[in-house]
Structure 1
C-alpha cells in the first residue's frame, strides 16, 4: 500500500505556488521547469541577455516540458541558430506531423481543422531588446503555468515563439549596453550606454534592416523566417518592435488610409477586434498607448504586413525604447523592466484575443485563399510570362523568391511573343489560377495613385522593375513545365579564344575569379560578330574575351560554367563583323581592390548593401575603412573608394586632400546620394547637386492650415518611388544594360554636371513608373542627370543620384557597380 501511495505521489505534477518574477501572473508553476531567474542568475531585464543564453534556455524548456519543441529557422550570417519554439499541449505535440500536414492544405482554401496557430516574433531589430526578454518570459509561462486558461489555449492552439529574429544584431547590442552599464544606473540621454557604436544592433551582420526583407529574402535570417511562416501558415503574427524613447506604446491597426489596397477589409476588422484586447491589457497596467496613427500597413516586406497578403493577420507593436537599462523621458524615468512588462502584456493579449476570435480567424484565412484563387481564375489572361533579356541569373533569383513564398510557376517550353516582346524558351511563367494570386498581384503591382500619399516606408516594390525584367500577360496558357531546362553543359576543348557575355548576373563573379587566378581578360567596347565553333557568335559591348593559350583554363572555365555563365569558343581571330580579336576596341581588365569609407555619418544600411554585394555576389573582399583613421590609409594600395549615402562630417581637410590625391593618381571614386553631395559640397569633383529646395520650384505654397503640415510634408518627400533612367549604353558604366533602367528613388536630389563631366544617365521626361511622387517633382526631376562620370587627373569620379543596390533586392542595377569596378577604369 505504501509503495502504491509513493508511486501515485511521484506521478503528480510538482508545482510551486508562485513565479519568482513579478512580471508574470501569480499562477502556480511546475517545479520541473527551470525558472528564467534560475537560468540567468538574475531577474530578466536586470542585464541584457546574449542570444546564446536565450537559446540555451529555450532548449532547456524543450528538454523539461512536454509542451515545448524547438524548430530550426536556419542560421544567421554569423552562424547563430535561429529557432521557433513550438508550444502546445502534449497531445498536440505528439500529433505535430498530422497538424503540419493539415496546415499545408490551408492555401488550397480547404477547411482543414486543427489548432489555431499564433506566431509571436520578437526583436527583428537587435537593439529593440524588450521583445526578446518578454518572449523568454512568456515561453516559460506557457511551458510551466498550470492555469486552466493556459491549458485551454494549448489544447486548441499552437503558439510559436521566436525570441529574436536577428541574433547577430541582438548580441552586438547586448554587449554594447552591458559594457557601459554600472551598478548605479544612468538614464541621461548623453550617457554612452544610449549611443551605440557603428553599426548599431538594429541591423544584421551585413547591416541590413531585416524587417524590410520579408518579401525579397536577401538574407538567410529572412529565408529561414519565411520558411517557418509558410510551413505553419499562422492565423496571427505578432511583430514586436520599439520606437523613440519619448513615445508611449503603439498597436495596430495603423492609419486606415495607408493600408495597401490589396489587403482585405476583413483583415483590418480583425486587427481592430484584437486591438481591443491589447487596449484592455495595457489599461490594466496603466500604460498609455495609441493606435490608428503614424504607422502604415502598406509595404508587404515587413513582419506586420507580410501575413496580410498571405492569409494571416499581422500586428505591429511598438514599445518606447529604453536602449539600455533606464532612460529619462517625457513620461519620467523609464526602465527596461517596464518595457518588457508592456511587451509581455500584449503577448498575453494577442494569444487571449486570438483564442477568443478563433472562429473568425479560421474563416478569414480560408476565405482569403478561396477569394485569391477565384480572382485568379476570373482574370482575363492565363498568367504572366517573364523574361530577363538573356540573363537567366535574374530569372533564377525571381524563381527563388517565388519558391520561398510557395507561388506556383514554371518554365516555357518554346519561345513566344507577347505585348511586342520576344520571350525565349525557358522564360518564367506564373499562372493566375492559383491560391497565391493575391501575392502575385502585389509582387507585380505598378500603381501610382493612392488614397493617402503619406508612407512609413516605400510606396512601390514591383519585382519586375526591381529585377529589371520584361513581363507580359498571356491570354492562352503556354506549354510549360515545373522545372527549368537551363542546366549548364560545357565540354572544355582548347580554342583560339573564349567569349563570355557581360549581361549575365554572375559574369562579374566569373571575371573576378579569372583575374585573381592570373588570367588575362579583355572586354570589347562595341558590337561584333565572331566565328564560333558551331556558328557565329554575337557579342555586345562589355563582353569578355579570353585568349585560349593561357594556363589552367581547362580548370577555370568549367568552374565559370558552373556559375551559369557558359564561355563560347572562338576559332578565328578575324571577325565576321566588327573588330577582330586583336583590335584596339578590346581593352585589358585588371583585378580590383576596393575600399569603402564607413563609420558614423555614413549609412549603415547602404554600406552593408555594398559590402554584401561585393562579398556575396562578386566574391571581392572589400576593405571597410573607418573615417576616424582613413587619412592614414595608404590609398595607393587600392583601386576604388566608395562613398555611399551619409553626411560625411568626418571629411576634414586632411582626409579630403588624401582622397583628391588618390583620384588624381589614378584611383576610381564612386559616390552616390549623400556621398555625391559631400563631394559637391567640398568641391572635390566638378559637378553640383540640385537638392530638395532646387526641385520644389513647381510646388504650390504650403497650406496655411497648421493641421495640413503633415500632408504638405508628405508631398515634398520622395519616400521610395520607382523611376526610369535613360542610359547611354555606349558608355562603360552602362554595359550589359538596356536603354531604360528602373531605379528606386528615395532622395530629393539630381546631379548638375560640369562641362567636362559625361552624363551617362538621365531621368525620363515622365520618370514615374510606380509609387508616389508629387507631380511637381516629376516635372523638375524629368530630363535631369542621374549618373555622371568625370575624369580627374589620371583617375575618375563616378557620381549617382540614387542607390544602385537598394536593399540588395534591386538586382536590375547591380551592373552599374560592377561596371564602375571593372569597365570604367579601363575606358573612361
Structure 2
C-alpha cells in the first residue's frame, strides 16, 4: 500500500506539472495584447521571461548575469530538454574541454550550443518583441517541432543586450505615438530626438564593443560567453525602414582568418532562412553591405572564437514604430517585423539542431588547429618590458585576461627575427627575460592573430568599418611579431621590492606615462593634495625624470600634516604608481623643484558640450572617460541653453565632434573667445576643430583650399581627359579613393610641449578622415604627419596624399587661455588605450 500511495503521489505531481505547462500563457495572454500592437517595456519582458522559467522549470532556466549602468537586469535564458537542462554545467564544461580551455575528457553526449543575442541597438527594438514568442515556442510542451530540435541542442538567448537604450526608445515612442500608430513617415513618432535609443547609457555602440569590452554590458556578457563558447551565434538587428530583410551569407570582405568551414556554413544557415522566407514570399537579400572584417561585431568576434557568427537585419529600426508607409506604398508594421525575426530565430535553431554533429566536430577541429597548427605568418608576439610603458603593459595584461588569451614571460634572454611595429620592418629582436610573450599555440590563437597581427589582408576595400586595430599600436607598446615559435615561461618576473626609505621626504615624484598616472593625479586632487609638474626633464639623486613628472612637495601641503604622506602613498599603491622621493629641492640637471618651470596644477572645472548637433558617440566617449575611467567630475552642458551658461564657472570646455553652426553662432562664439582670453581652455575635437578652422582669431586652417583643389582637379583632367567616363556601377569604389578607413599613422610629436608629455617622439593615431589641417603659423604644431607616416590599414590614394604634411594635434595661445585642437579622437570607442594619456594631457597639463 505504501508503494501504491507513493506511486500515486508521483503520478499526481507529474500530471499537475503537465497541466501547469498545458496552461502556459502565450505572450499575448501574459501581456494583455498581441505582440506588435504596442512596444513592451523592458520590465515586462523580464517579467515574462521569469514567468516562463517558473512555469516550465524542466525546459528553461533564467540567470541574471549582470546589470546595466542604469541598474536594469541583464538576463540569459537557457533552454534545453528535460534530459539536458539538469546537466547544463556538465555540457558547458564538456564544451570548454572540446576547445582545450579546460582539461579532462568529455563526459556523456554533447549537444550543439547556439547563442542568440537580441536588441544590442536599443531602438532596433523588434528583436526583443520577437524573442518572447521564440521562448514560448521553445518551452511550449505541445510544440513537437521545437521538442525535436532540443534533443541535440542547447539554446542560450539574451532577450535584450542593451536595456538602457531600448527603454530610452520605447518610453519616447509611447509618449509621442498616435493611438494605434501613424504610418505617415512625417509623423512625430518616426523622428527620434537626440541621442536616439541606439547606444547604451554612455552612448557607446555595443555592437562595436565585442572585442574591446569597454562597457559594463559587454564585460559581463562576454565573461559569460567565454564560459560557454557556443558553436553558433546569431545577432539580431534592424536597418533602414525601406529595406527588406538580410541574412547570411555575409558580404565581402571576409577576414582571412575565417575558415572554409565557417564560410560554407554561412551559406547553410542562409539556406534554412531562405526556406522560411520563400515559403511566405517575404523579400530578403544576402551577400551585400554586411561584411565580416572588423573584429568587434556580434558576428565577427564570435567567429574568431570558433562559432558560426551571423547578423540578421530587419528593415525598420527606430524610424518604423508601429507602422510605417514606405516609398513603394506598402505599410511596414511592427507585427511584420516581429514575424520575420521570429522565423529567422527558428531557422537558426533548426539548422543548429539538424547539423549538430558537424558543428561539434568542426568546433573541435577549429580549436585543435589553434593549439597545434595556428594560422598566419607569426607564431609569437613579444612586448618589451620598459619602465616608461609599465602602465600600458599592465592595461594590456588586464585586456588579455578579459579575452581569456594566454600569455606569460620570456623567462630567459634570447634573440630572434621579427617584425618591429615601430619601424614596420623585419629586424633582429633581443628578447629579455621579463618581456611579455603571447604564443599562437593556444586555444584563442585565431583571436590573437586577428587582434595582434600588424595588418590584415583586405580582399575588398569596400568595408563597413575601420581597417586597422593592431593592439601594439592601441596600447602604445614596443612590440615584435616573431615568425618562430616562442613559448612563454609560467612564472611572472619577481617584482623588485620598492620601499620609500624616508618617512617625510622633501617631495614625492611620480613619472607621467599612462592612464594610471592620470587617475593618480585626479585622486590626489580630489583629496586636496597640491601637485606640481615639471615642464623640463631633470635629474636628482642619480635618477632621471622626464618632462611631465608629478611633484608633490611638503611645501604647499602643510595643512595636511602627517596625512599627506599616508594619502600619497596609499593612492600610489592603489593605482600601481612607482612612487619615488627626494630629500632635496636641488637637481643635478634641469630645473630645481622651486623653479618657475615647475608648475602648480590647478584642479580644473571641466565642462563638455552635449545635445542636438553633437555626435552622441563622441560625447559618450568623453563622458565615459571622466566618469568610468578616471573618476573625475565633469559638467555636461546642453546645446539648447549653452548661450546662457556663465562660462566663468568653468576652466575647461570640451567640444566633441559635431555640427556647431547653430549653437556657436557669431555672438556665442565671441563669448567663448572672450572666456578663453580670460584664461579658459577650449578643447576642440575632430569636426569641432574643423568648425573653428578659418574663423577669426583661430590659427587653424583646413588643408587644401577650394582654389588648390580646383587646380588639382584641372591638372588631373588634363592628364587624363577620359577620367570622367566612369562606370556608374563603380561609383562606390571610385569614392573610396578619398577615404581613410580607420588606419594607423605615426604622428611626430614635439615632446617638449605638455600635450605630448609621456610619449617621447611618436604617437600612433587611428586616423578616420582625410579632412586635415595646415601647420599653424601662430600656434604650436605638437603632432604632425610627415610624408611617410602611414603604418597600416586602408587609405585611398587621394586620401594618402592629403594626409601628408598635416597637423593632427595642436595648441594655440589666445590671451591668457589656450585652444587645443585634436584632429584625431584619442578616445575613439574607448579602446585606443594609448590615446587616453594624450587626452589627459589636454585637460590637465596644457595651459597650466
Report the TM-score, using the length of structure 2 for normalisation: 0.90
Contact 1:311 1:369 in 2 (8 A): yes
Question: Any conservation in 2 of the 1:87–1:159 contact (CA below 8 Å)?
Answer: yes
Q: Distance in 1 between matches of 2:38 and 2:676?
A: 48
Determine the structure 2 residue equivalent to 1:499. 509
Contact 1:391 1:505 in 2 (8 A): no
* Unmatched 5+ stretches in structure 1: 17-28
**Which structure 2 residues correspond to residues 324-723 of structure 1 after superposition, within 5 A?**
324-331=321-328, 332-376=330-374, 383-387=381-385, 390-413=388-411, 426-447=434-455, 450-473=458-481, 475=484, 477=486, 480-481=489-490, 485=494, 493-531=503-541, 536-549=542-555, 550=557, 551=560, 552-557=563-568, 558-650=570-662, 651-680=664-693, 682-683=695-696, 685-690=698-703, 697=712, 701=723, 704-723=726-745
| Contact 1:411–1:428 (Cα < 8 Å) also in 2 | yes
Change in CA separation of 1:703 and 1:517 when aligned onto 2, cut-off 3 Å: farther
Match of 1:195 in 2: 191
Map 1:790-809 to 2 at 5 A: 790-809=812-831
1:42 alignment counterpart: 33
Q: Is the 8 A contact 2:379 2:441 kept in 1?
A: no
Give the deviation of 1:7 after TM superposition. 7.8
Q: Cα distance 1:370–1:702, how it changes in 2: closer, same or farther (>3 A)?
A: farther
Residue 119 of structure 2: which of 108, 123, 128 is its match? 123
Q: Distance in 1 between matches of 2:522 and 2:10?
A: 71
- Segment drifting more, 341-350 vs 355-364: 355-364
Per-residue CA distance 1:260-283 (angstroms, 9 max, x = gap): 111112211101111011111112
Aligned-CA RMSD value:
2.7
Question: By how many angstroms is 1:420 displaced?
Answer: 6.4
Deviation string 1:665-715 (CA, Å, 9 cap, x unpaired) is: 111111121101111264462211237977895888466111111111223
- Larger mean Cα displacement after TM superposition, 65-74 or 85-94: 65-74
Are the aligned partners of 1:247 and 1:320 in contact in 2 as well (CA < 8 Å)?
Answer: yes
Q: Which deviates more, 343-352 or 425-434?
A: 425-434
CA distance in 2, matches of 1:422, 1:663: 49
Matches within 5 A, 1:60-71: 60-65=51-56, 66-71=58-63
Deviation of the 1:175 alpha carbon: 0.7
Match for 1:33 among 24, 31, 35?
24
Distance change in 2, residues 1:389/1:186 (3 Å): farther
Distance 1:164 1:426, change over 3 A: farther
Q: CA deviation at 1:188?
A: 2.3
Matched, 1:107 2:103: no
Are residues 1:292 and 2:305 paired?
no
Counterpart residue number, 1:22: none
Gaps of at least 5 residues in structure 2 are: 417-426
Pick closer, same or farther for the CA change 1:278–1:809 going to 2, 3 Å: same
Q: Determine the C-alpha separation between the residues in 2 that align with 1:603 and 1:521.
A: 34
| Counterparts in 2 of 1:183 and 1:473: CA distance versus 1, 3 Å | closer
Is contact 1:74–1:83 with CA below 8 Å preserved after alignment?
A: yes
Distance 1:111 1:350 in 2: 29
Identify which range, 371-380 or 590-599, moves more after superposition.
Answer: 371-380
- C-alpha contact 2:53 2:60 (8 A) present in aligned 1: yes
In the alignment, what sits opposite 1:53? 44
- After the TM superposition, which of the residue ranges 368-377 and 4-13 deviates more from structure 2? 4-13
* Contact 1:118/1:160 (<8 A) preserved: yes
Normalising by structure 1, report the TM-score. Answer: 0.92
* 1:454-493 alpha-carbon deviations (Å, 9 max, x no partner): 1111111111111111112455747633557559866582
Verify the 8 A CA contact 2:383 2:477 in the aligned structure 1: no
2:287 matched to 1:264? no
**1:479 and 1:807 mapped to 2: Cα distance?**
31
Deviation at 1:559, TM superposition (A): 1.9
Kindly tell me the number of residue pairs found equivalent between the two proteins. Answer: 809
Assess if the C-alpha contact under 8 Å between 1:594 and 1:641 holds in 2.
Answer: yes
**1:728 alignment counterpart:** 750
